[in-house]
Chains A and B, each alone.
Chain A
C-alpha cells in the first residue's frame, strides 16, 4: 500500500516546534512519509508546499493563539486550489472553546496537549483511508489473546489447581456487577486465564454452567478502536451481543460477538485504555 504523506507545518510566528518535531518523528516511526516546513510559514507557503509535495494530510501546529485566523485560512485556500481532499488536522495551545469553531471551518480534528502521538497517527491513517474508500483496511488484526474465560461454580474450589498445581500467579479478584460475576485473573505469558464465578442464579455464567457444565466459556481478543471495530463487524453481518462496548473487568471496554456468527465460539473484544485510572 502507498505510504501516507503528511506535511507538518508551523503557521504563524511562534518558534515552539517541540510538538511539531515530535509528532513528525512519531508519524515517521508509524510508517508515514513526513515533510516538515520549518518555522514561520504563511498560509500561502503551507498550501503551496502541500500541493507540491502531493501530501494526503497537513498537520498544523500553533502555540501563539493565532490558530483561529490561520487554520481556517489554510483550509479555504486548499479549497480555492481544488485541493480540499487534503486532510487538515491541528494541535498546539488551543483553548477547548475554539475547537468547535475550527472544526466548523473544516479542520478535521484538533489534538490538545497530552494526546498520545499514536492516536494522531491512527486518526490520520483512518481519515486518509476513508477518503480513498479503503476503510476496510484501516484495522490491524487483534493483537493477542487477552484472556481465556473459564466458567467455574466456585473460585475458592477452582483456584488451588491454578495457583498451587500450575503455579500460575493470581493477579486480581474482582466483582463485575453488570455481568453478575466474580472473577479471578491468572497471568500466563502475555495473556491471562479468567475464572468466572456466577454471583447469583441470574448470572449468564450460572445458565452457562447449568446448560453445559463448567469449562471454557469464551476467548477474549485484545483490540484497538473497539467502537469502530464493532461497527465494521456489524456492517459485515456479524451478529453482536453488544452493539456498543460496556465496562468489563479492570475497567476495560468490552463487547461480545454472538457465537452463531463465530462457529459456536463466544468471542469477546477487549480494549484496555492505557489512560485508565488505577
Chain B
C-alpha cells in the first residue's frame, strides 16, 4: 500500500467513524437493509482500492467534493421532502388544497402565486385583468396571507414560495403571520425563490432593473442571516432555464454562473461568505434523458463545492454543500394522451432521486392542458411515494456512482460548465451576460433546434409525433372560478376601507425614504405589511424609486 493509499484508508476510517456518530443522533429508518434475496445492502458501495481518482472526484457522501451526496446516509436516514407546488384561486381555496396534501402525506408546502402577485400588482390593477388567481393564489395583503396559512403550524411545516421580484414582501407577510400564530421568525423554515437573474433570462416575472433587484436580494440575505436563520434565502434556479429550452449543460452552467453573481453581490454588500452561503439553495429540472440527468445533479454538487472552496475560500461545510429541489420537466408533458405523462414523470423523478435531491415536485399528467385536478395532483404525489417506498433505490447511497458511463458524463458536464463560466466571467459575470442577452440567445437557439428535431421526427415524442391516436379523449380539467377576480377586488376594496390609512401612508413614505438611501429594506417592508399595505402599493413605491426593467 502506498502512502497515498494509507492516507485514503485513514480518511475512509474517519468517515465511517463520523457516520457512526451521526447515526447515534439520527438513526436510519431500519437497523438492517436487505434485498429480496436476503443480500445485505451496504450503505455505500465503493471500490476496494481507494485511489486518487476516486478520492478526488467522488470521495464519500457528506464530504468534499460531495459528488455522492451531501449526507453520509442520504435517504436511508430521511426521505427527500415531497413538496408539491400548488396554488390557485383564492387564499381559502388554496389553503384547503394545502391541508388536503398534508393529509395525504406531503411533508412540505410550496406556494404558487398568481402572476399579478409575482409582478407586484394588486388584483384591481388594470394589468391584472384576466390573471387573478389563474396560475396561483392571489395575495394582495396580509389578510390573504393569513387565510392562506390558516391552521397550518408554521413551526412544523416548511414552506417554499415561488416568488422573486417581490420576494421581500411575501417573506415579510409570512413572518407576520407566523408571529400572529405565536411562532417567532427564528423558528420558521422555508425557501423563497428570490432568483431574479433567471427571471430576466427565462421566466419573465421581473419588476425592477438588475441593480436594485440585486440590492433587495442581498438585503434579504443580511436580514435573514441575523433574524430568520432557518430560511433559505434564495433558490438559484436552473429549472426555468431548462424549461425555456436549454440543454442540460446550459442549465447547469447558467445556474451556477448566476449563483456566482449572487455570492459576489453579497460579498460586495459586506457579508461574510460563511454567513450567508449555508442558506443558498438550488432548484433544478428533472428532464427526460435519465442518465445525463443523474450525472447533472452529481456534477452540480462537485462544481459548486469547488467554486465555494477555491474561488471564495468558504470554510463551513454547509457553505460547500449544494442542496437542491427538483421539479420534473413541465415542457416534456404532452397534451396528447396525457396518461403517458405519468410515465415520463416517473422516469424524471427517479433521475432526481438517484441524483440525490433534497426535495421533489412531481408534475401532474394534465399540466400541458390546465392546472391539475385533485385526482391528478394525488397521482403525482403517489408517484414519488412509490419511488420512495417500493423501488428500493433509497436503500443505498448514490447507487449509480462508479458506473463508467455516469462518471464520464459527470466529468464531461463539469468541463462544459467550467468552460461556460469562463466565458461568462470574461463577459463581466452573469449580470452583464444577462444584460447583453447572451444566455437568452443561447437558450433560444437550443429550443429552436429541439423543435426542428421534433418536427422532422428525429426526436420522438411518444403520442405526439409517433404512436398517435386519431381521437384523443378529452379529460376533465381543473377550472378556476371566473368570478374570482371580482370577489378578490371586493375583498381588497373592503380592506382598503377598513385599515388605518394614515398608518399605511406613513409606512409607505418610510419605505420610499429607505429605498432612496442604502438602508436594509426588509425591516421597512415588514412594517408595511403589518399595517396592511398591499403588494401593489409596496412594489409601486419601489417602482417609483427603482424604475422598471423592460427587457433586452
A18–B451 alpha-carbon span in the complex (Å) = 10
A44 shortest CB reach to chain B, Å:
10
On whether the beta carbons of A66 and B130 are closer than 8 Å, the reply is yes
> Which among B134, B203, B447, B468 has the highest number of chain A CB atoms within 10 Å?
B134
Chain A, interface SS category:
loop
Q: Which of A7-15, A77-85, A140-148, A196-204 contacts B (4 or more CB under 8 A)?
A: A7-15
Chain A residue with the shortest CB-CB distance to B331: A18
On whether the beta carbons of A14 and B370 are closer than 8 Å, the reply is no
On whether the beta carbons of A15 and B467 are closer than 8 Å, the reply is no
On whether the beta carbons of B131 and A13 are closer than 8 Å, the reply is yes
Q: Is B115 in contact with chain A by the CB < 8 A criterion?
A: yes
A42–B127 alpha-carbon span in the complex (Å) = 7
Collect the chain B residues with CB atoms within 8 Å of residue A274's CB. Answer: 457, 465
Given contacts A40-B127, A112-B335, A275-B465, contact A15 B369 (CB under 8 A): no
> Which among B130, B134, B203, B477 has the highest number of chain A CB atoms within 10 Å?
B130
A70–B130 alpha-carbon span in the complex (Å) = 7
On whether the beta carbons of A12 and B368 are closer than 8 Å, the reply is no
A272–B203 alpha-carbon span in the complex (Å) = 38
Contact of B455 among A25, A38, A70, A116 (CB under 8 A): A116
Q: Is A93 in contact with chain B by the CB < 8 A criterion?
A: yes
Q: Is B334 in contact with chain A by the CB < 8 A criterion?
A: yes
Q: Is B414 in contact with chain A by the CB < 8 A criterion?
A: no
Given contacts A16-B204, A22-B447, contact A114 B135 (CB under 8 A): no
Q: Is A263 in contact with chain B by the CB < 8 A criterion?
A: no
Q: Is A108 in contact with chain B by the CB < 8 A criterion?
A: no
A12–B315 alpha-carbon span in the complex (Å) = 46
A163–B199 alpha-carbon span in the complex (Å) = 60
Q: Is A154 in contact with chain B by the CB < 8 A criterion?
A: no
B330-380 interface (Cβ within 8 A of A): 331, 334-336, 368-371
B70 shortest CB reach to chain A, Å:
31
A254 shortest CB reach to chain B, Å:
17
Q: Is A17 in contact with chain B by the CB < 8 A criterion?
A: yes
B446 shortest CB reach to chain A, Å:
10
A12–B115 alpha-carbon span in the complex (Å) = 9
B153 shortest CB reach to chain A, Å:
32
Contact of B335 among A15, A67, A113, A118 (CB under 8 A): A113
Contact of A117 among B121, B370, B455, B482 (CB under 8 A): B455
On whether the beta carbons of B135 and A65 are closer than 8 Å, the reply is yes
A12–B445 alpha-carbon span in the complex (Å) = 25
A39–B205 alpha-carbon span in the complex (Å) = 9
A64–B334 alpha-carbon span in the complex (Å) = 17
A107 shortest CB reach to chain B, Å:
15
Collect the chain B residues with CB atoms within 8 Å of residue A22's CB. Answer: 245, 444, 447-448, 451
B414-457 interface (Cβ within 8 A of A): 444, 447-448, 451, 455, 457
Contact of B119 among A13, A96, A117 (CB under 8 A): A13
B469 shortest CB reach to chain A, Å:
8
Chain B residue with the shortest CB-CB distance to A71: B130
On whether the beta carbons of A66 and B457 are closer than 8 Å, the reply is no
A60 shortest CB reach to chain B, Å:
12
Collect the chain B residues with CB atoms within 8 Å of residue A25's CB. Answer: 444, 448
Collect the chain A residues with CB atoms within 8 Å of residue B334's CB. Answer: 113-114
A-B pairs with beta carbons under 8 Å apart, 28 shown? A12-B115, A13-B127, A13-B128, A13-B131, A13-B205, A15-B202, A15-B203, A15-B205, A16-B204, A17-B244, A18-B245, A22-B245, A22-B444, A25-B448, A26-B448, A38-B550, A38-B551, A40-B127, A42-B127, A64-B131, A64-B135, A65-B131, A68-B130, A95-B477, A97-B477, A113-B334, A274-B465, A276-B468
A-to-B contact residues, CB < 8 Å: 12-18, 21-22, 25-26, 38-40, 42, 64-70, 93, 95-97, 112-114, 116-118, 274-278
Seed contacts A66-B131, A277-B468; 8 additional CB < 8 Å A-B pairs: A13-B118, A15-B205, A22-B245, A38-B550, A40-B204, A112-B335, A274-B465, A275-B466
Closest 4 CB pairs of A and B: A15-B204, A69-B130, A66-B130, A13-B115
B-to-A contact residues, CB < 8 Å: 115-116, 118-119, 121, 126-131, 134-135, 199, 202-205, 243-245, 331, 334-336, 368-371, 444, 447-448, 451, 455, 457, 461, 464-468, 474, 477, 480, 482, 550-551
